[in-house]
Structure 1
Amino acid sequence: MIVAIDGACSNNGKLGALSAFAVYFGPGNHYNTARTSHFRERHTSQLAELDACLEALMLVARIQAEQTFDNGIDIVVIKSDSEYVVRGLTEWMPKWKKNNWKNSRGTPVANAMEFMLLGALIGQLQEQMSVKFWLVPRELNVEADSLAKSALESRIRDRDYSNDDL
Structure 2
Amino acid sequence: MWIERGHGETDYFLTQALSGHGNVSQPLQSDRQTNIVAEIQAVTIAAMQARKAGIKNLIINTDSKFIIDCFEEHLDKWKAKGWINSRGVQVVNKLDFQKMENALSYLNYEWLHVCSHNGIYGNVMADKLARKGIFA
TM band (smaller chain):
0.7 to 0.9
Q: What is the TM-score when the length of structure 2 is the normalising length?
A: 0.78
Equivalent residue number for residue 54 of structure 1: 44
CA RMSD of aligned residues (A): 2.1
Unaligned stretches of 5+ in structure 2? none
Letter in 2 for 1:137: C
Contact 1:4 1:79 in 2 (8 A): no
- Measured after TM superposition, the shift of residue 75 of structure 1 is 2.0
Question: What secondary structure, in the 3-state scheme, does the structure 2 residue paired with 1:88 have?
Answer: helix
1:22–1:121 CA distance, 2 compared to 1 (3 A) = closer
Contact 2:58 2:109 in 1 (8 A): yes
TM superposition outliers: structure 1 runs of 4+ over 6 Å: none
Aligned runs of 1:1-166 on 2, under 5 Å? 1=5, 4-6=13-15, 21=16, 23=18, 30-37=21-28, 39-64=29-54, 73-123=55-105, 125-126=106-107, 130-138=108-116, 139=118, 140=120, 141-152=123-134, 154-155=135-136
Structure-2 separation of matches of 1:114 and 1:58: 14
Question: What secondary structure, in the 3-state scheme, does the structure 1 residue paired with 2:110 have?
Answer: strand
Contact 1:5 1:22 in 2 (8 A): yes
The answer to which structure, 1 or 2, has the higher relative contact order (CA under 8 A, 6+ apart) is 2
Q: What is the TM-score when the length of structure 1 is the normalising length?
A: 0.65
Letter in 2 for 1:132: E
Deviations 1:54-103 (A, max 9, x none): 11111111111xxxxxxxx4521111111222211122111111222111
Q: How many residues align?
A: 123
Question: What secondary structure, in the 3-state scheme, does the structure 1 residue paired with 2:30 have?
Answer: coil
Structure-1 separation of matches of 2:103 and 2:93: 16
Question: What secondary structure, in the 3-state scheme, does the structure 1 residue paired with 2:52 have?
Answer: helix
Larger radius of gyration: 1
Structure-1 separation of matches of 2:14 and 2:21: 15
Deviations 1:9-65 (A, max 9, x none): xxxxxxxxxxxx2549xxxx833221112x42231121111111111111111111x
Structure-2 separation of matches of 1:98 and 1:132: 23
Over the matched positions of the two proteins, sequence identity in percent amounts to 27
